[in-house]
Structure 1
Amino acid sequence: MCGIVGMLDVRGKRDIDRELLSRMNETQHHRGPDEADLYLEPGVGFGHRRLSVIDIASGLQPLGNEDGSVMVCYNGEIYNFRELRTELQAAGHVFRTRCDTEVIVHAWEEWGEQCVHRFRGMFAFGLWDRRQQLMFLGRDRLGVKPLYYAHTTDGFLAFSSELKALRQLPGISRQLDPRAVEDYFAYGYIPEPRTIYDGALKLSPGHILTQRVGAPPAQPVRYWDVPFQPHASMSQGEVQHELIERLREAVRIRLVADVPLGAFLSGGVDSSAVVAMMAGLSDSPVNTCSIGFKDPNFDESDYAAQVAQQHRTAHHMEQVDPDDYGLLDTLAGLYDEPFADSSAIPTYRVCQLARQRVTVALSGDGGDENLAGYRRYRYAMAEQRVRGRIPEGLRRPLFGTLGRWYPKADWAPRVFRAKTTFEALSRDLVEGYFHGVSLMSDAMRGQLFSDRFRSGLQGYRAIEVMRGHAANAPASDPLSTLQYLDLKTYLPGDILTKVDRASMAHALEVRVPLLDHQLVEWISGLPPSLKLQGSEGKYIFKKSLEPHLPHDILYRRKMGFSVPLASWFRGPLRQRVRDSLLGPLLADSGMFNQHYLRELVEQHQSGMRDYSAPIWSLLMFEAFLRKEAHA
């Protein structure tokens, strides 16, 4: 894994400021503490921070072809690089290293923009072709590795692994994008392609960008999408067999490394499945890492230990302090823009633990999106069945009225907490799903923002992100449509961002076999009934894993990787909440309704409501503003 930066003078061949490029590069030192180098020629500059994983001796970047006319700066792993190298050598290309980076250079020479279709792995890279006078940017299909870019006001294209590097540029606007703020308080993260700044963007997963010198600023082009194309008919037994074979192969190709390798093991289905496959492929015990919590409502360490014992792994577990909230300001610096997933705290800690023993760790991320594991899919499908039985002309006014008038009863047993369900039933599939996953509802955000800020949004609403993806969805059934939405939003914007920053903060490379694009494509073509059957999510995955994992691992209630925010905000963080939400920084920003901020704080701390998620999002936003003020 690495940190990359680059600059291209789109207008000509002005010299790149070496000191600026070096400063940008060094902001990402944590991503690659082993080595660093810069490459400059008139109009072009690359910087690279290296975490050595494959070909430690000769894999230093930026790296070029034989005559230096093509240079690449790359972050990631191309798992099929050996096969590609053999093919490229047969075509006459000469290799000087054993690393996967050089494959990108020669693949570009051989196949041009189509080279990304040949790569199997996780990657983000910038490539300069001097003969064609162009810069080519590419990001992997699912967005495992990040890539930020900006067209600056003074005519440069710049890119980097993290937003903090682009912030060094004098020609980039750092005005906050109001739409990104609206998105953040709806989703808890800022979905691709926006960033918090109006002058910078993320290159979306499965996209490329080709910028020629002298041409107008280029726009990204999509090169891949999840197909959701049904397979030829197979028996359930055939599906189970092929699923395990494909999973085993996706794990196998991710075991190549010249450094110590292990796995995260939470005790959930996905990480346990990965560890089971690793154990079957390894002659020595697999290194596994997990963390535990004193509160049994949040602790899965016993389940992790059960899997570790079954597969005889070298297991390491540490218990996290139940009041491990000291990372709040650290997280604000890691993520560079507001990020409200509080499970970033335990994720940071498990990466810290893993790095004590390994340099590469496999994770189980992606299984819930691929195989419909989230409970919210079950609820959404139940709501969709009701929608199908009641004409829209009756359904919208009936449930809309019930949703408006039914009290929000956070304190009541679940069966009486029907307000959100009524509100969802009054909407269509996408709007209902958006409403269900939103950190703060439309009504809450309407109260949260000041009149001036709402006016600046000019009618924009965060649901437009999901509407845009739904309009392009290749899926035809409701469940696949919702999975597609998560694969485009929640997975790259939250899950993969969280893991990338937390792992790279400790110079740890994380590989995700469940997001192997060939596996994702195949799973997408399975019937929805094999993913969500009745109330059982990941149905076919669990059935396939029955010979490999205990029944109570496969079929226990999903817990998630959460922290006790509600009690923190009424106890040890009580004053921090009041100081941050009711203090001068949010007030002076002019974005927020101060009366409503006070209402959120008072009602949560009195126990009347559970506003822990909105309060956490506001704490992280205030921490971001504080970092900005001192940048």
Structure 2
Amino acid sequence: MCRIFGYFNARATPHEMRAVAALQRHGGPDATGFFRAPGWGLGSNRLAVVDLDGGEQPYGRGGPVQVVFNGEIYNHAELRARLQARGHVLPDRCDGSVLPALYLEYGDALTEHLDGMYALALLDTRGEVPRLLLATDHIGMKPLYHRWDPASRSLRFSSELPALLGFDGVGGRVRESALDAYLTTRTPFGTRTVYEDVEVLEPGTTWVCELGGAPRVRRRAADLPAAPAREGRTAARQVRRTLRSEVRRLLVADVPVALIVSGGLDSGLVASLASEHGPVHTFNLAYRGTWPSDERHFAREVAERAGAVHHQVEIDPADFPKLLEETVWHLGQPNADPIALSTYALFRAVRDAGFTVALTGDAADEVFGGYARMRVAAERAAAGAEWSADYLDALSAAPAALRERLYTVAYRDHVAADPALPGAAREDLLHGPGTVLERITRFELENRLPAYHLRRVDHLSMASSVEARLPFCQRSVVALGRALRDHQRVRDGQVKRTLYAAAAGLLPPRVLSRPKQPFTLPVATMLRPGTLLWEYARDLLAPGRVAAAGRLEARVVEELFAAQAERPDDTFALALWALLVHEVWEEQFRPAARRPGPAGTPGASRPMVTAA
């Protein structure tokens, strides 16, 4: 696991390369290095997980093919044996060491042989001019940001957005429609970021360019669903068997491995399956004090059933302002999910406890149909009713009617010509092939999951030098999920029907029978008069500050505060939280007010952890 960066058909001084490396060193504290040649440079920050003494990057150093790589290749042992049988000599047993030889054997199709999570940059110097290949994994677990300048045909790239800004001339122009995209979908979707000149490679994308030429970008075909799933218990047994195999593979590491448990089905099932292979450590996050939706007792039940050493992490709501500044800095662009703050604090506690790898339950809802909005949309569509408006509002940080009131006339006119959702994604969601639930599943997996969830998990785990592994994102599991029929996902008011059946007997009955609850921060209760978070939001969203940008009606923001103070509401609270996060980002990243990252920010107190 690493962070990578580089440039192509461009110039970058050693100082720039060191600056970029320093800005993402938290994701790779074990080794930092870069290699430069006329017109190009590759660099990496290493987090040692497999073969702690090997893994020097660029892989293939001194040869015709050099690679920097971020991620984990879970089938590297099988690939190594195959490549060695064909005469290749590999320097160590690090997973990334197979990549140069794999490219020499299969060319651009090397990605078809990779099973894992990755973003890689490969430099081929065998031709008359160097050739660069960038590639991302099938579902977007490892992002790669880039700035392509068509005029000079130059490229700069990195694993993290704040690090990319370390290259001279990157990120100078903020996309004015980004606020609308953010409030509409909680973070920019597709290739877009908040910057006009910075994009992110989509999942399953291969980007190829020869020095001085124009890039060829290909989004590889999504994995086909598995053979149509069988009914009832047979499908559940197949899911359980596949998950058991993937969890076993993802536990393999040369460093300590932990498990994140929320107290719900998804992470609980991963913990239960992991415990079959020996003692495990589980981590759960809660908030100091008494708050609604506290799941710590369910998490403890899951841990006890798995025979785990359980670590209960607590954070003090008084630390939220400082934690929020650090969280926003690591993400590099706004993400409206309140859980982002909790995610950052939780992975920091995991690392403080001595763990470098953590398995999570992320993506189960997208793969198996776990969101209430999916169920409601499917039920309405089956009844012949309109479903899309409420579904899209459920994705937003501020519903369409509220955004209409929030925006100034000038800003409404501006964003009307620049829709928040990528056109092809919206068209497929509303009018593509398949049932409504099939279209929603495709949209969530291919668009929302990578942009909203996976980048958050990647950035906020690696912020504390922790590698997050995601069993539900494994190709075999995703293929099984996509093969399920609608009624195997949702029916009679129940979501994730097949996954619940797969977990039968593995989790405490109270965990399996409890109503589904999202793992999140109870912001509607915490954002209220008299709390530090409330005062912090009031200061940053003061009418004068809000009005100065010319995008939002300060009067409407004040009405949101008044309504939330009088009658706390999830919709009002999330909108205010989203606006607060955006203002924190503005303070840290707008060129006129750029501030240093966490190293220059007063640190929040460490979360309290207890083990049982």
TM-score (norm 2): 0.91
Alignment of 1:145 onto 2:142: yes
- What amino acid is aligned across from residue 181 of structure 1 in structure 2? L
- Of 319, 332, 338, which residue of structure 2 is paired with 1:336? 332
Whole-angstrom CA distance in 1 between matches of 2:338 and 2:422:
25
Alignment of 1:33 onto 2:25: no
Indicate if the aligned counterparts of 2:543 and 2:555 stay in contact, CA closer than 8 A: no
Indicate if the aligned counterparts of 1:28 and 1:165 stay in contact, CA closer than 8 A: yes
Alignment of 1:359 onto 2:356: yes
Gaps (5+ residues) in structure 1? 389-424
Describe the shift of the 1:487–1:466 C-alpha distance in structure 2 as closer, same or farther (beyond 3 A).
farther
Partner of 1:120: 115
Deviation at 1:163, TM superposition (A): 0.7
Whole-angstrom CA distance in 2 between matches of 1:203 and 1:76:
15
Partner of 1:448: 406
Describe the shift of the 1:509–1:608 C-alpha distance in structure 2 as closer, same or farther (beyond 3 A).
closer
The 3-state SS of whatever aligns with 1:304 is helix
Whole-angstrom CA distance in 1 between matches of 2:329 and 2:567:
31
The 3-state SS of whatever aligns with 1:7 is strand
Deviates more, 1:241-250 or 1:315-324: 315-324
CA RMSD after TM alignment? 2.1
Partner of 1:599: 559
Q: How does 1:314-463 map to 2 (within 5 A)?
A: 314-326=309-321, 327-355=323-351, 356-386=353-383, 388=384, 425=385, 427=386, 429-463=387-421
Whole-angstrom CA distance in 1 between matches of 2:13 and 2:467:
30
- Of 575, 578, 590, which residue of structure 1 is paired with 2:535? 575
CA offsets, 1:297-339, max 9 Å, x none? 2211111111211121121112332444231211221111111
Partner of 1:136: 133
CA offsets, 1:436-491, max 9 Å, x none? 32221222222222223233335233245574462699861211211111112321
Q: How does 1:497-576 map to 2 (within 5 A)?
A: 497-571=455-529, 572=531, 573-576=533-536
Partner of 1:630: 594
Deviates more, 1:166-175 or 1:102-111: 166-175
Indicate if the aligned counterparts of 2:12 and 2:167 stay in contact, CA closer than 8 A: no
- What amino acid is aligned across from residue 85 of structure 1 in structure 2? R
Q: How does 1:161-310 map to 2 (within 5 A)?
A: 161-216=159-214, 218-228=215-225, 231-232=227-228, 234-282=230-278, 285-293=279-287, 294-295=289-290, 297-310=292-305
Partner of 1:493: 451
Indicate if the aligned counterparts of 1:22 and 1:47 stay in contact, CA closer than 8 A: no
Identity %: 30
Deviation at 1:114, TM superposition (A): 0.8
Q: How does 1:602-617 map to 2 (within 5 A)?
A: 602-607=562-567, 611-617=572-578
Deviation at 1:232, TM superposition (A): 4.5
Indicate if the aligned counterparts of 2:185 and 2:396 stay in contact, CA closer than 8 A: yes
Partner of 1:108: 103
CA offsets, 1:262-302, max 9 Å, x none? 211111101111111111123xx111111233435221111
Whole-angstrom CA distance in 1 between matches of 2:244 and 2:39:
46
Indicate if the aligned counterparts of 1:361 and 1:510 stay in contact, CA closer than 8 A: yes
Describe the shift of the 1:565–1:261 C-alpha distance in structure 2 as closer, same or farther (beyond 3 A).
same
Whole-angstrom CA distance in 2 between matches of 1:103 and 1:431:
47
Partner of 1:398: none
- What amino acid is aligned across from residue 291 of structure 1 in structure 2? L
Describe the shift of the 1:69–1:233 C-alpha distance in structure 2 as closer, same or farther (beyond 3 A).
closer
CA offsets, 1:33-67, max 9 Å, x none? 111011111111111111110111111212216x5
Indicate if the aligned counterparts of 2:121 and 2:133 stay in contact, CA closer than 8 A: yes
- Of 579, 584, 605, which residue of structure 2 is paired with 1:618? 579
Whole-angstrom CA distance in 1 between matches of 2:359 and 2:192:
28
Gaps (5+ residues) in structure 2? 596-612
Indicate if the aligned counterparts of 1:2 and 1:49 stay in contact, CA closer than 8 A: yes
- What amino acid is aligned across from residue 30 of structure 1 in structure 2? H
Describe the shift of the 1:611–1:370 C-alpha distance in structure 2 as closer, same or farther (beyond 3 A).
same
Indicate if the aligned counterparts of 2:291 and 2:525 stay in contact, CA closer than 8 A: no
Whole-angstrom CA distance in 2 between matches of 1:136 and 1:81:
20
Whole-angstrom CA distance in 1 between matches of 2:297 and 2:433:
38
* Pairs aligned (count): 583
Whole-angstrom CA distance in 2 between matches of 1:287 and 1:515:
22
Whole-angstrom CA distance in 1 between matches of 2:229 and 2:472:
23
Deviation at 1:170, TM superposition (A): 2.6
Deviation at 1:566, TM superposition (A): 2.5
Deviation at 1:583, TM superposition (A): 4.8
Deviation at 1:211, TM superposition (A): 1.4
Whole-angstrom CA distance in 2 between matches of 1:34 and 1:608:
46
Partner of 2:2: 2
Deviates more, 1:159-168 or 1:438-447: 438-447
TM-score (norm 1): 0.88
Partner of 1:160: 158
The 3-state SS of whatever aligns with 1:193 is coil
- What amino acid is aligned across from residue 277 of structure 2 in structure 1? L
- What amino acid is aligned across from residue 470 of structure 1 in structure 2? D
Indicate if the aligned counterparts of 1:473 and 1:484 stay in contact, CA closer than 8 A: no
Whole-angstrom CA distance in 1 between matches of 2:181 and 2:471:
29
Deviation at 1:499, TM superposition (A): 1.4
Partner of 1:586: 546
